[in-house]
Amino acid sequence: MCASCGARIRADREWCLRCEAPLAAAPSSELHLPAWLRARGGGTLIFAAVGVLTLLFVGYTVWDRLSAANADAPRPSVSTTSRSSGPSQPAAPGREVSLWSATSLDARRKGGPELTTAELAAVRGHAEQAVATRPDDPEALNNLGLALERAGQTDDAIARFSRAAQLGPRNWAYHFNLAHALAQRQNWDRAVSAYRIAAGLYPTDAATQCNLATALQKMRDDAAAIPVFERAVQLAPADAECHLGLATSLDREGRTTDARREYKQYLDLAPSGPDADTAKSRLESMGSGQP
């Protein structure tokens, strides 16, 4: 529109054809924004969007660095049984000896690394030095407890595990290790309490459930042990020992049909297992004959 006379003129004209007044041509590189951005507040929306993208980028960078740091952090260590699968071998040159692999495997059924006397002494010395430097570090106390337990000093190990559990009440491994050591001393009442805490912290771990049920069974509380064994079997259906424990408690409670089923399941999974003859004998006494 001509500012002088109001005539409508083509955009590429420089002079008004009616009144010959000069026209201000529109910039050829005019930016055509969407209507919602040209509306009132559109500029604020642009700045807000840029701010959100910046925050997301910074947040991702921080998260990525924290994830990398956590990947290198030490994991809680779990007690392992002293059952030996063969003679111990001397450490190979340069091999780092440790009891503390990060694992949640059941301590009753899987042995730890085979250590020579010298290796065990070195592991224990390292753990004792760590506790001397950091007396209130629950991980250092837990590691010393593992070394003491492996050396046969179960009472001293219990003291370290107990302190670690007090300092790290939300750590499953500390309570599991304490319960395992208490079970070795046949302190079933305290073992049950510690296993219950561990089971609450890690409810999907079959090992914790099975060990808790076994401790209840040792206390002759088969009624309480049965549902815990059933939970363990549900979590680890191929675990022969859990089926045998469940069969034993069912048998004691007079639930013959269910006990027979679990004895058979144990024999299917471990036909040459250490308790296979006992399971077969119980089945025969129930009148089922050979499975």
Domain residue limits, the chain: 124-199, 203-291
Would you list the DSSP string of 60-127?
A: HHHHHHHHHHHHTSPPPP---B---SS---PPPTTPPP-S-------TTTSB-----HHHHHHHHHHH
Q: Is 203-291 in the same CATH topology as 124-199?
A: yes
Architecture in CATH for domain 124-199? Alpha Horseshoe (1.25)
Q: What is the CATH number of domain 203-291?
A: 1.25.40.10
pLDDT tens-digit readout, 110-126: 445 666 788 888 888 99
pLDDT digits (tens, 9 = 90+) for 195-226: 999 999 999 999 999 999 999 999 999 999 99
DSSP designation for 134: -
| Average pLDDT score over residue span 47-68 | 54
Q: Is the pLDDT of residue 91 over 50?
A: no
Q: Yes or no: say if 223 and 253 are a contact pair by the CB < 8 Å rule.
A: yes
> In terms of DSSP H, where are the helices of 219-239?
222-235
Locate 218 and state its tokens: 């040792």
